[in-house]
Chain A
Amino acid sequence: MTDHNSSTDLTPRAGANLPERFSDPGHAPHKLRRADVDPAANKRAERQVVFLFALSVIGTIGFLVAYVMVPPGETVASMRLSNLLLGLGLFLGMFGIGAAAVHWAKTLMNDRERTEERHTLISSEETRNAAVQELKDGVEDSGIARRGVLKGAMVSALALAPLSIAVPLIGEVGEDWDISKFKHTIWRKGTRLASDPSGRPIRAAEVTMGSAFHVIPEDLDEQEHPLDEKAKAIVLMVRMDPRDLKEAPDREGWSYEGIVAYSKVCTHVGCPVALYEQQTHHLLCPCHQSTFDLADGARVVFGPANRPLPQLPITIDDEGYLVAQSDFHEPIGPSYWERLK
């Protein structure tokens, strides 16, 4: 056994004469504080406590003076000054009392160590037996073991009662459970593209080279829930040199003279992607730095997003206004639709 040097081996080795139980060593010898032995230190500690209380008094008076003499006023600067003085006064008033109390207790009050014996938490054997017997008697008295129907009725009532709370609570989460609406937006054939937030429809001629327009559907305000619809339908529209634009064969005709429109909702977790760099045509998401190349079908060039932003097919109407050709051809926003398939 002695050549066995595993650290988990608890077998006593050299000192085989360890006691069976350790006895309580009791308190360490009490050490006197400076304030206990030196009257000067005692006086000094007292003065410090008085100083801290005085600080609190000054703080409270300062607070009251600031409250009366320095009203918040109308300007930002006067509000700042007022807040600063009130805060400082309040801090001194409260912290002074707390610090004084702690310092008083630590330096001047008795600091003798004391032991308070605790009785064991467990009840005595006969108390526990009596309690169990009471329960048994109760069950016997109710006759629940014999009366099966009664037992069933009680269990049913108890089990059903919480439903009156649970059903309304769960039923109102998310208002309704029709998730198909997340797949569509209010863009449809002929909806004019309008400026956010003014709602002015946009002519193709107004979208000059290098421009970025934040776009909403023109009929947004007529919707029942305009903000809900806006959250899905927001679009960023930019114009670039048509020679810079790479278009997939199945998306030819979705742009107009170098004007392209993409959903502004990030395909990662749905932040509004709107940091457009007009020279690189890159669109950056402020939340997790997903970067999309608007010149190349909003391809993901960096970051955690894993599919391009959905493109809104656009064209112009008879009056030269930009209009949508249809809704987006895929759901906008985070890419969890694939997982539902």
Chain B
Amino acid sequence: MKALAARRHHRSAPVVLLLLALLVTGGLYAALAPSPAGAAEASESDIEVGSDLFAANCATCHGMNAEGTQDAPSLIGVGAASVDFQVGTGRMPMENNGPQALAKPPQFDDDQVAALAAYVASLGPGPEIPTQEQVDPAQGDPANGMQLFRTNCAMCHNAVGAGGALSEGKFAPALWDSSPKVIYEAMVTGPQAMPVFNNANITPEEKRDIISYVTAQREGSPGGAQLGSLGPVTEGLWAWIVGIGLLIACSVWIGAKSS
């Protein structure tokens, strides 16, 4: 300690101290900093596997370096969330050209989807796959979610998420079977005709509220059969054809003479 005390006033003491402080801060930060939200850090090998999968399955339309072609958009900067949504729900690879890519049983398993997502995410920064906590319906506020859903989503996806028609054969799909993760990814990436709802427009907490509202609708209505939750069309069909039909049948029976 004496030696240290003696060198306190050495010319290079401030520099040494500064270097020490920087080292300690950097070391502490490296040890304690929160790991970035999203899926586990993609490894080099994931990206390589993804790159191969991409070249074999996606490059025909999206270009060898995902730069896009006449037929399909560039995937640089669309982020892992976009790949996880499109490939994980089977929308990509697209079955055939049509108004809209349809969901179908996915062509790749979870690891392959993750590898593809890692590869596309490595091409440019974009939305990440949300964590389990970000999309946990139990942590959201369904009442606030309803307000947001009514303003931003209900016009296309129906008031309880039963889906609806758009123009020229496109449609907003029903949300009954969409997993919370997929709903989050759709909002943040804006797949196909759907607009983007970035985190400034609808904050991550508000997104979780929306997910909470959407999943709460799946329990159905306490009032009885929902008839697809499609509103006056199915309800009218039942009331006018089945309901009035039964009333007419009863009237005919009452009015007819007994044999």
A residues within 8 Å of B by Cβ?
33-35, 72, 75-77, 79-80, 83-84, 87, 102, 106-107, 111, 195-198, 202-203, 206-214, 238, 272, 274-280, 282, 284, 286, 289, 291, 302
Closest 8 CB pairs of A and B: A206-B200, A212-B195, A79-B222, A277-B193, A76-B219, A274-B155, A106-B258, A210-B196
Complex Cα distance A39/B148, Å?
71
B residues within 8 Å of A by Cβ?
147-148, 151-152, 155-156, 164, 166-167, 170, 172, 190, 192-198, 200-201, 206, 219-224, 253-254, 257-259
- Let me know if B219 and A209 touch, CB within 8 A: no
- Let me know if A278 and B193 touch, CB within 8 A: yes
- Min Cβ gap A113→B in Å is 10
Chain A neighbourhood of B200, CB < 8 A: 202-203, 206-208
Complex Cα distance A33/B258, Å?
7
> Which of A111, A206, A208 has most B Cβ within 10 Å?
A208
Given A275-B155, A284-B166 in contact, is the A210-B190 Cβ separation under 8 Å? Answer: yes
- Min Cβ gap A85→B in Å is 12
- Let me know if B198 and A277 touch, CB within 8 A: no
- Let me know if B155 and A278 touch, CB within 8 A: no
- Let me know if B155 and A83 touch, CB within 8 A: no
Chain B neighbourhood of A196, CB < 8 A: 151
- 10 A/B residue pairs, CB under 8 Å, sorted by A: A72-B222, A80-B222, A87-B224, A107-B258, A195-B201, A197-B148, A272-B155, A274-B155, A276-B195, A282-B167
- Let me know if A33 and B196 touch, CB within 8 A: no
Complex Cα distance A289/B197, Å?
24
Chain A neighbourhood of B220, CB < 8 A: 76-77, 80
- Let me know if A278 and B190 touch, CB within 8 A: yes
Chain A neighbourhood of B152, CB < 8 A: 212, 214
Complex Cα distance A159/B166, Å?
57
Name A211's contact: one of B193, B197, B219, B257 (CB within 8 Å).
Answer: B197
Given A76-B220, A102-B254 in contact, is the A211-B259 Cβ separation under 8 Å? Answer: no
With CB as the reference atom, state the residue of chain A lying closest to B158: A286
Complex Cα distance A108/B190, Å?
71
- Let me know if A111 and B258 touch, CB within 8 A: yes
- Let me know if B219 and A77 touch, CB within 8 A: yes
- Let me know if A286 and B193 touch, CB within 8 A: no
Given A80-B222, A197-B148, A214-B152 in contact, is the A206-B198 Cβ separation under 8 Å? Answer: yes
Chain B neighbourhood of A302, CB < 8 A: 167
- Let me know if B193 and A279 touch, CB within 8 A: yes
Name A238's contact: one of B195, B253, B258 (CB within 8 Å).
Answer: B195
Sample of 13 more A-B contacts, CB < 8 Å, known A80-B220, A80-B221: A35-B258, A76-B221, A79-B222, A84-B224, A102-B254, A198-B206, A202-B201, A203-B200, A238-B195, A275-B156, A276-B195, A278-B190, A286-B164
- Let me know if B167 and A291 touch, CB within 8 A: yes
Chain A neighbourhood of B224, CB < 8 A: 80, 83-84, 87
Name B201's contact: one of A206, A278, A279 (CB within 8 Å).
Answer: A206
- Let me know if A34 and B222 touch, CB within 8 A: no
Name A212's contact: one of B170, B197, B254 (CB within 8 Å).
Answer: B197
- Min Cβ gap B147→A in Å is 5
Chain B neighbourhood of A79, CB < 8 A: 222
Complex Cα distance A80/B258, Å?
39
> Which of B151, B156, B257, B258 has most A Cβ within 10 Å?
B258
- Min Cβ gap B43→A in Å is 29
- Min Cβ gap A99→B in Å is 9
Complex Cα distance A203/B199, Å?
12
- Let me know if A75 and B167 touch, CB within 8 A: no
- Let me know if B223 and A83 touch, CB within 8 A: yes
Complex Cα distance A298/B113, Å?
39
With CB as the reference atom, state the residue of chain B lying closest to A289: B167
- Let me know if A284 and B167 touch, CB within 8 A: yes
Chain B neighbourhood of A207, CB < 8 A: 200-201
Given A272-B155, A275-B166, A286-B155 in contact, is the A34-B259 Cβ separation under 8 Å? Answer: yes
Given A211-B197, A212-B195, A213-B201 in contact, is the A277-B219 Cβ separation under 8 Å? Answer: no
- Let me know if B196 and A211 touch, CB within 8 A: yes
Chain A neighbourhood of B193, CB < 8 A: 277-280
Complex Cα distance A207/B202, Å?
11
Chain B neighbourhood of A276, CB < 8 A: 195
- Min Cβ gap B48→A in Å is 30
Complex Cα distance A213/B206, Å?
14
